[in-house]
Amino acid sequence: NAGVTQTPKFQVLKTGQSMTLQCAQDMNHEYMSWYRQDPGMGLRLIHYSVGAGITDQGEVPNGYNVSRSTTEDFPLRLLSAAPSQTSVYFCASSYQETGELFFGEGSRLTVL
């Protein structure tokens, strides 16, 4: 019963460093997405994918890259971390475009 698995759960970076947040789901969902959660702003969509090989930008895509080589995995890459990217990141998946999102446990990222 893994569902959506995110790693790492916590990470501290220095400005300018790069890193990848990993996300994997075992529910065979076509749709996957990344959100960031900041105080007072709810969750905002960064990037999403409707299937392997297909990705698109969400509301706040700048500074982030994604790829979807398999149905199961949807990593989020920060190429050059900035303090503004300090946030809690959630990966989610869904079985249909109108269905509920299944979320991972979140990854707390701090950029110094």
Binding interface with other proteins (CB under 8 A): 31, 33, 35, 40-45, 48, 50, 58, 88, 90, 94, 97-103, 105-106
Closest CB 16 distance from other proteins, rounded Å: 28
CA distance 35 to 58: 9
Task: Tell me which residue has tokens 């199961």.
Answer: 72
CB closer to other proteins, 17 vs 71? 71
CB closer to other proteins, 14 vs 97? 97
Closest CB 15 distance from other proteins, rounded Å: 25
Q: H/E element holding 44?
A: strand 43-51
Chain-centroid distance, C-alpha 25: 12
Closest CB 92 distance from other proteins, rounded Å: 8
CB closer to other proteins, 31 vs 64? 31
Q: In terms of DSSP bridges, do strands 4-7 and 19-25 run parallel, antiparallel, or are they unpaired? A: antiparallel
Beta bridge partners of 47: 34, 57
